């Protein structure tokens, strides 16, 4: 059977047309508007859409820092930086127990961490990680308050920072708002929006702390942070692409002034782009392999 020839036949067997099928899979069908009998499926698809990250955490910090370091490195020297950062990340990821501990804390075991009674190394990592999301728990390496607290501790500074990359709360707020906006892209109403909103507790707290009733209103007030000038000399010309037109805050001083690089052209040929080349023999087709 030729799948392409059979396509039209397949469409007719479904209770909705191709366009609706696409919107279904994109999670853009509001359950209440779904075809008869398919409300649950619409809900399930929306529930299966990963919300954007609320941010924070050691893994994000390390991956972003490593990514930036590799990007800033001149092409000729990137291999050493890449290998070094890869090793660093591997070491970081070996402490997955911290993530598990954080999940325990956020999932209902907060009293354990709040009391500072986790094993010291785990307590330290959890404390550090939760600080990024506005939750304070004791850190055995510091003399912080022993009481866990939820708050919008950095809400006051988020709109006034100067984009000190990686740590500035303004960048954090801007990043969260961008992620929130991405999470709500194409969703018109309720379910997914509330789902996404639930995924941004710090953003919600920040918005409330600032007197805004909705994240949308709050984010509208957050300006894009000024960018951090990259290390002088780190741009070899191949990475400098200038500021995009319509950028809210304009490019940072010293940014290469050229236009954005060309038209979208897909993955570069010299990188791991393209379909995976090999398939382990006997593998199930389509399951993480290519054919």
Partner 1 sequence: MEYADLDAALQAARRGDEWAITCIFRAVHPKLLHYVRRHAPDVAEDLVAETWLAAAKGFATFEGDVDELRAWLFVIARRRIADHYRNRARRPRLIALTDQAPMAAAADDQAIEALPTDQAIEALVRDLSADQAEVVLLRVVADLSVEQVAKIMGRSPGSVRVLQHRALRHLAKIWERGAVTQ
Scan residues 38-77 and list those touching partner 1 (CB under 8 A).
38-41, 43-45, 47-55, 59-60, 63-72, 75
* 116 or 252: CB nearest partner 1: 252
Q: Please list every residue from 200 through 229 that binds partner 1, using CB under 8 A.
A: 219-220, 222, 224-225, 227-228
* 65 or 112: CB nearest partner 1: 65
Q: Whole-number minimum distance, CB 116 to partner 1, in Å?
A: 26
Residue 113 CB: number of other CB atoms within 10 A? 23
Q: Whole-number minimum distance, CB 101 to partner 1, in Å?
A: 15
Q: Residue 62 and residue 57: Cα distance in Å, rounded?
A: 9
Q: Is 134 one of the binding residues for partner 1 (CB under 8 A)? A: no
222-259 burial: b if 16+ Cβ within 10 Å, else e: beebbbeebeeeebeeeeeeebeeeeeeeeeeebeeee
DSSP letters spanning 129-150: HHHTTTEE---TTS---SS-EE
* 143 or 286: CB nearest partner 1: 286
Instruction: Answer for the pair 28, 188: CB distance below 8 angstroms, yes or no.
Output: yes
Q: Whole-number minimum distance, CB 199 to partner 1, in Å?
A: 9
Q: Please list every residue from 113 through 132 that binds partner 1, using CB under 8 A.
A: none
Q: Whole-number minimum distance, CB 41 to partner 1, in Å?
A: 4
State which of residues 110, 124, 191, 193 lies at the interface with partner 1 (CB under 8 A). Answer: 191
State which of residues 127, 163, 204, 207 lies at the interface with partner 1 (CB under 8 A). Answer: 163
Q: Whole-number minimum distance, CB 250 to partner 1, in Å?
A: 10
Q: Which of 147, 129, 150, 130 is nearest to 138 (CA)?
A: 147
Terminal-residue alpha carbon distance, the chain:
18
Residue tagged 């007030």 (tokens): 221
């Amino acid at each position: 059977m030729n799948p392409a020839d059979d396509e039209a036949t397949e469409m007719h067997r479904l209770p909705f047309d191709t366009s609706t099928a696409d919107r279904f899979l994109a999670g853009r069908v509001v359950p209440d508007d779904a075809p008869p009998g398919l409300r649950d499926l619409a809900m399930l698809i929306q529930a299966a859409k990963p919300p954007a990250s609320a941010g924070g955490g050691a893994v994000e910090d390390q991956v972003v820092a490593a990514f930036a370091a590799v990007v800033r490195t001149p092409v000729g020297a990137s291999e050493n930086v890449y290998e070094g950062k890869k090793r660093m990340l591997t070491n970081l990821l070996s402490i997955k127990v911290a993530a598990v501990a954080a999940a325990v804390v956020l999932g209902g075991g907060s009293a354990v961490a709040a009391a500072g009674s986790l094993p010291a190394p785990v307590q330290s990592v959890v404390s550090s990680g939760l600080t990024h999301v506005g939750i304070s728990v004791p850190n055995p390496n510091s003399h912080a308050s022993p009481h866990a607290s939820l708050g919008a501790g950095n809400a006051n500074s988020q709109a006034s920072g100067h984009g000190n990359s990686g740590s500035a709360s303004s960048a954090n707020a801007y990043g969260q708002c961008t992620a929130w906006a991405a999470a709500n892209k194409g969703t018109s109403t309720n379910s997914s929006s509330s789902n996404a909103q639930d995924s941004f507790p710090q953003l919600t707290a920040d918005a409330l702390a600032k007197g805004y009733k909705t994240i949308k209103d709050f984010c509208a007030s957050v300006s894009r942070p000024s960018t951090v000038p990259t290390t002088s000399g780190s741009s070899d010309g191949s990475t400098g692409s200038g500021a995009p037109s319509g950028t809210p805050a304009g490019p940072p001083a010293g940014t290469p002034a050229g236009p954005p690089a060309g038209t979208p052209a897909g993955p570069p040929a010299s990188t791991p782009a393209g379909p995976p080349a090999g398939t382990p023999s006997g593998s199930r087709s389509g399951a993480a392999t290519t054919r």
